[in-house]
Structure 1
Amino acid sequence: MRGVDTDRRLEILNQELKHVRKGLGVHQVGLPASAGPVLRELAGVRADDAPGAVRDKLVAAVRGLVERLPQGRRALARVVFGLDNPTNAGYTTRLAEFGRAADRDVRTIQRRADEVVYLVAELACAAAAREGGDPGVPWHTKRLQVRLVLRGAEVEVFETRRIVSHQRGLTDVRHAISVGRLGLAGGSVDLAALGIDEISGGEVRSPAMVSADRVAFTLRPPHPLEPGDEHDFFFRVRTGEIAPFYCCTPEFDCERFTLNIRFEPKRRPSGVWRIDGEFSKEVADPTPVRQPLRIDDTGEVRADFTNLRPARSYGIGWAPTSWASTES
């Protein structure tokens, strides 16, 4: 199956995992024979493995992927795949029980179960791509440190990003941020008023609006990077008052992200919470139960994240009520 393109491979694996979750999940009797070819390959199953060895490898592979999910998704994923199933309940029964405990209706839990399966498939394909040196990934982030300072209607974002090159002669690192508009429906960001200043590590080039609230630009290092080379960029973004959350939503893998937010003494929010690997469209949704964070005596709050997955959002949200989006 290695000749199958990445998107098709992800689609196949997603369907194979949906088959695995049926009935007793990973403990269903027919699992060794019925597991699909992509899942068997990713689990390291060999043609001469005995059925018991096949089951052990498949269960270990699924369990390992589930443990890499954001904390808020793991409990549901274990239920979906039957990893936690002391009563040997079937799939729909497991979801119904989970929904009652979480005070959510069945349709909501079913939708989130589908999202969890897709996320597990995405994690598996991303890991395989890294091991095989996916040529479509030019670089990844080793460390991202962001300091967000809120001063009334002005916001400053200080970002230090260490990248690792995957390509020969890498000269352009494409970057984008989404700046929340705080209810300015139908409006757009004023690019001229948005300050993007390089401080060290290279140049900021060609900033351009790619949507109503998304700005893309290129970071160019002082010299071309070779595979394995590491390089730090440090730049500042200045903008107007933003919506009440800040997230990193990486395009490529990010090993570590540290976010520090400083609030004004007279404008401290009434609540602060951790956003951990959520779909970007759900970041502004107040429904999910999230881990609360504490603001210290100086008005600062901090969160650390490791092994961020592409296209998922990680960061900090806070009260009050206006909701838009700011992503790095």
Structure 2
Amino acid sequence: MRPENSFPFVRELNELRRGRGLDAADLHQRIGPFLREVCDITDADRPAEARRKLVLRLTELCGRLPDDLRLAALAAFGLHEEAAGEFLDRRISWLASVLDRDPRTARRRIDLAFRRLDELLVTPPPERDLHPLAGWYVESMKATLHLDRDPPDLEEERRIVAEVDELDELVLSFSVPAEPGSDPVPDITADALFGGEIVEARQVSVSHAQFVMRLPSPLRLGQRHEYGVRFAPRRTSLRPYYVMTPLRRCERLSVRVRFDRANPPPRVWRLNGVPGRVVDDGVDSGDALSVNRVGEVGFEFHELHQGLSYGLQWSFEPRGD
């Protein structure tokens, strides 16, 4: 068992949860030296910038905790949208009601969450890709491509994290490359399944479209939000792959393709962070996957690098000897 003084961040985290938590007006004055160092907060940072760095780092780390501890930490900091702005005792009462426990147990859950956060904070963070796309990042994404439908469609569900206050719109991109020599039908449609509404469609090129999604209400810095969208190209001939090439930070991706179970491809392989040209060339990576008896194949990717492609590719040609 670790002694109390071996948790260097716990005292500083406890200081942050007082009053209105990370919504406190004097937050920048209550950030301790250990947290300032790991969050790269300098004396030159204005209060708003110090808050932004702290909230984003703590939100990211809370996302790595088990569900109950993540909820406890977010409530303690005032980062959970249903507990934001309240004073600590009221946030603890809210947490106790959600956990169906007494307030004393809720406090113990917060203490445990802070110890787990301490362990994460003392570990150097992984290198992050820099990107020019500001406003939000993808904590997790689940994509299901239905090739057993006519026409095919893609359903995406994402959990995002706001990197700014008052985030009220998202720009979503979707590409459907045409086969060489095929009729370039430009139409790509998108329908919101939940978590927002599509208010604008922009056909950037024959193969690429952008859609503006308006959120139900503006997000606060560090707030999570989940939404789902169905994309459908008005094109019957699709290239034999599904990949995501993240232009912004993406921590986790789950891909599932559902084929016509009467005619599945004999070869499916994983693309785990490859250049786009590798995808276009259709070279079998040798990382084979099997289609199950209901016609599905899937895989999960973590800590995606921006600019590289992740997903699945297949061929209806048998493997050569």
- Indicate the TM-score class for this superposition, using the shorter chain for normalisation: 0.5 to 0.7
Q: Which runs of 4+ in 1 moved over 4 A?
A: none
Equivalent residue runs for 1:1-328 within 5 Å: 124=127, 126=129, 129=130, 137-151=134-148, 154-185=151-182, 187-191=183-187, 194-239=188-233, 240-241=235-236, 242-287=238-283, 289-320=285-316
What runs of 5+ residues in structure 1 fail to find an aligned partner?
1-122, 322-328
Displacement, 1:250? 1.2
SS, match of residue 172 in structure 1: strand
> 1:231-269 CA deviation, whole Å, 9 max, x = no partner?
111111122331100011111111110011111022211
Specify the SS of the correspondent of 1:254: coil
The separation in 1 between residues aligned to 2:185 and 2:137, in whole angstroms, is: 28
Task: Report the AA paired with residue 140 of structure 1.
Answer: Y
CA contact (8 A) 1:179 1:189 kept: no
Structure that is richer in helix per residue: 1
For the residue of structure 2 that corresponds to 1:317, the secondary structure is: strand
- Superposed displacement of residue 136, structure 1: 5.0
Q: 1:190 is paired with a residue of what secondary structure?
A: coil
What is the CA deviation profile of residues 139-188 of structure 1, one whole-angstrom value per residue up to 9, with x for unaligned ones?
Answer: 11011001111136520211101110101111121111111323345x53
Partner SS for 1:284: helix
CA separation in 2, counterparts of 1:287 and 1:146? Answer: 23
Distance in 1 of aligned mates of 2:286 and 2:199 = 37
Q: Which amino acid aligns with 2:306?
A: P
1:244–1:318 Cα contact (<8 Å) kept? yes
Secondary structure of the structure 1 residue equivalent to 2:185: coil
Q: Which amino acid aligns with 2:192?
A: E
Q: 1:317 to 1:287 in 2, by over 3 A?
A: closer
Q: Work out the CA distance in 2 between the residues paired with 1:290 and 1:152.
A: 28
SS in 1 for 2:231: strand
Root mean square deviation, CA, Å = 2.1
Structure 2 unaligned residues grouped into runs of 5+: 1-125
Q: Which amino acid aligns with 1:305?
A: F
Asked whether the 8 Å contact 2:186–2:207 carries over to 1, the reply is no
Kindly tell me: are residues 271 and 217 of structure 1, through their superposed partners in 2, closer, same or farther at Cα, counting changes over 3 Å?
Answer: same
Once residues 138 and 166 of structure 1 are traced to their aligned partners in structure 2, the CA distance between those partners, rounded to angstroms, is: 5
- Preserved CA contact (<8 Å) 1:253 1:310: yes
Q: One-letter code of the match for 1:233?
A: Y
Tell me, in whole angstroms, the C-alpha distance in 1 between the residues paired with 2:261 and 2:133. 45
Kindly indicate whether the alpha-carbon contact (under 8 Å) linking 2:261 and 2:295 is maintained by their aligned counterparts in 1: yes
The whole-number CA distance in structure 2 between the counterparts of 1:232 and 1:189 is 31
Aligned length: 190
Q: Residue by residue, what CA displacement relative to the aligned partner does 1:46-103 show, whole Å, maximum 9, x if unpaired?
A: xxxxxxxxxxxxxxxxxxxxxxxxxxxxxxxxxxxxxxxxxxxxxxxxxxxxxxxxxx
**TM-score normalised per structure 1:** 0.54
